[in-house]
Amino acid sequence: MEMLTRVVFDAARDGNPSAMALLEAAADVGTKEAEGLLLQLTRENQAETGEKDFMAAFIRVAAANPLLHKSYLNGNGKK
């Protein structure tokens, strides 16, 4: 499987069919790259919203990006 990168993730959010298929495949099997993407998105969310609580921001980001969150969980053996 092609590596899940921020470029691929952004393309999937923009509706690119091949990027969406890659994100769906990553969600099914899991990928370690999802952890870094979630961390980056959480930190960006904290910067945008002023949220100091990392877990509150993480929960918000994970809820807004369920395929990425599933990929993170499956990549860390939390199926």
Task: Quickly list DSSP for 29-47.
Answer: H--THHHHHHHHHHHHHHH
Torsion of CA 15, 18, 20, 26, to 10 degrees: -160
Q: What is the pLDDT of residue 1?
A: 52
Question: pLDDT tens-digit profile of 9-44?
Answer: 999 999 999 999 999 999 999 999 999 999 999 999
C-alpha span between 29 and 44 (Å, rounded): 26
Question: pLDDT tens-digit profile of 47-71?
Answer: 999 999 999 999 999 999 999 999 9
| Spatial contact of 62 and 69, defined as CB atoms under 8 Å apart | yes
What are the domain boundaries of the chain?
Answer: 6-75
| Spatial contact of 45 and 51, defined as CB atoms under 8 Å apart | yes
Q: Please state the pTM of the whole predicted model.
A: 0.89
Here the tokens at position 50 are 């002023």
